[in-house]
Structure 1
């Protein structure tokens, strides 16, 4: 059994890896880097539906999930976008992900849903901001008395 104190850091590492991979997909499609759109080396044409918008979601949500900022809403949007991709692009061809090439969409969908439900883990900007808000304010130092 894994010690309880490791659950936050392990969840954080999982979130970072999934966010980084998603960010890379978005960057590849929008900027044509890292092999570009589906290995073609080309960027998706600006504002084309749905490819460019999906890539923008991948880029922005991937970055937010990576750093752990607005993690739950970003992960939920990313999960939904991958569910949409699976059911509109992959599933019409065959029923199972292994048959229709939708394994990655299915994995991203469920991975982001897990992050949306469990939260960002302890190593996240969201967690740091929550700790900062919960910390009691330090009293202001007493003003130095001036001799008269």
Structure 2
């Protein structure tokens, strides 16, 4: 049973990454454009709302696609930690009391992705395979012949 679970782990991580990224991107789109029943609450350039919404939209899309996953997850996790401690935590100690549960959950979900990576079916893997294939061919072409 463990073997099957271990074999499925990259795909489960892929699904986790896609769902978390999609939810985060939707949150950003809601704040920026009023989509999905949200209110257009982030005026261009306002701190921190507009910048947070851009991070949510762009970071969520990058994580969802598995493109620059670890860096995007680091920035997203940090933005949610900032949101929790600057916006929610001053209202009350616990997330259940201060409506900071989404920020805390997103923070920890993205924190996990920093260390696990994107899992299967990520664009990062596609580009790294292409680079490895072209890099091997390029290395052979550029390597000078050694004569003695």
Pick the TM interval, shorter chain.
0.7 to 0.9
Give the RMSD, CA atoms, in angstroms: 1.3
Match of 2:11 in 1: 9
The answer to whether the 8 Å contact 1:68/1:124 transfers is yes
Q: Between Structure 1 and Structure 2, which shows a larger proportion of helix residues?
A: 2
CA distance, structure 1, for counterparts of residue 79 and residue 33 of structure 2? 20
CA contact 1:121–1:127 (8 Å) conserved in 2:
no
Structure 2 gap ranges (5+): 138-148
Any conservation in 2 of the 1:32–1:44 contact (CA below 8 Å)? Answer: no
Alpha-carbon deviations, 1:26-50, whole Å to 9, x = none?
00001111112xxxx3342111111
TM-score, normalized by length of structure 2?
Answer: 0.85
2:140 matched to which residue of 1?
Answer: none
Match of 1:34 in 2: 36
Moved over 6 A (4+): none
Matches within 5 A, 1:1-148: 1=2, 2-36=4-38, 41-135=39-133, 137=137
Q: What is the count of residue pairs matched by the alignment?
A: 133
Find the residue that maps to 2:46 and give its secondary structure. Answer: coil
TM superposition shift of 1:133: 2.7
